[in-house]
Amino acid sequence: MTPWAPTRQQLGAVRNRPRHQIRAYIQDARVVAIDEAQFMGPELVGLCESLANEGLRVIVAGLDMDYRGVPFEPIPQLLAVSEYITKNLAVCAVCGNPADRSQRLVEGSDRLLVSESDRSNTLPRTVAPTASSCASSRCLWA
């Protein structure tokens, strides 16, 4: 069970299952929440539409862009078929401004990087993808 703050309700959760196994874990659920959608691939769109058409509430979360600013599939397709969309931004680790980009702090060209905080960072739009610090005038590191 996973705690749901602030009411401390308990919700059942299944961790790290392949997308084709999601249906086996739904049972009598009314809500299906899927995190890390950027790792799920294009088949997730059909699954989410199918679940929603069956009357389930489907909540999906994931990064919309990689560290280069290129959209992660299947996020654009999910946005297109969604009834409700909420885009939350991170906070720049340096200046505190809203951050819509991730910054890779280690060498490598792999698109996906399962990361600890010492391997990536978040930055505002105003920062070039190759910058090593925030360019905000409010930022102490600029």
Query: Does an H or E element contain 79, and which?
Result: helix 75-81
As a whole number of angstroms, the distance between CA 104 and CA 72 comes to 16
Give yes or no: 43 in active site. Answer: no
Q: How many residues does the chain have?
A: 142
Q: Find, among 60, 39, 38, the residue nearest to 48 by Cα.
A: 60
Q: Which of 36, 54, 73, 83 is catalytic?
A: 36
Q: List, by residue number, the catalytic residues.
A: 36
